[in-house]
Amino acid sequence: MTRYYAIDDANARVREVRPILERLRDDRDAVAGAQQELARFRQSNGSDDHARELADRETVLRDVVRRMQRDVARIDAWGITLRDIPSGLIDFPALANGRPIWLCWRLGEGDIGWWHEVNEGFGGRRQLADLE
């Protein structure tokens, strides 16, 4: 069953989800960099120390990916749809005059000020003040 957010509830949740989205964005960037570094490291020296360091680096990378998975699961458990990690774009299901819509928010914004129809994406965002 879909949970629909009232604007005040969604704004309250934004305060909780913002640091999670920031961490996800940072972790995503860290994972991308670590994967490139790991690929280069795998092609280098094959000593015992090298093998241990490679295993340590892989463990750290797996731990970051697991944290990301937990963060995404938490956002999902709140009924929020994560659209884009780099921009921290999320949608909250809501009702407007009985019809489902998305309340749209991303990192860098204050309170929720945007919405779009369920069959539209970010390009269909309209100001909350224009909601009918």
Taking the C-alpha atoms of residue 45 and residue 78, their distance in angstroms, rounded to an integer, is: 46
Q: Which residues pair with 93 in a beta bridge?
A: 102
Percent of the chain surpassing pLDDT 70:
95
Identity of the residue numbered 30? A
Average pLDDT over residues 100-126: 96
Average pLDDT over residues 81-102: 97
Instruction: Check residue 69 and give its pLDDT.
Output: 98
pTM: 0.87
In a domain, 77, yes or no: yes
In a domain, 45, yes or no: yes
Instruction: Check residue 46 and give its pLDDT.
Output: 64
Q: Which domain holds residue 34?
A: 7-130
Taking the C-alpha atoms of residue 32 and residue 52, their distance in angstroms, rounded to an integer, is: 21
In a domain, 110, yes or no: yes
Average pLDDT over residues 110-121: 96
In a domain, 54, yes or no: yes
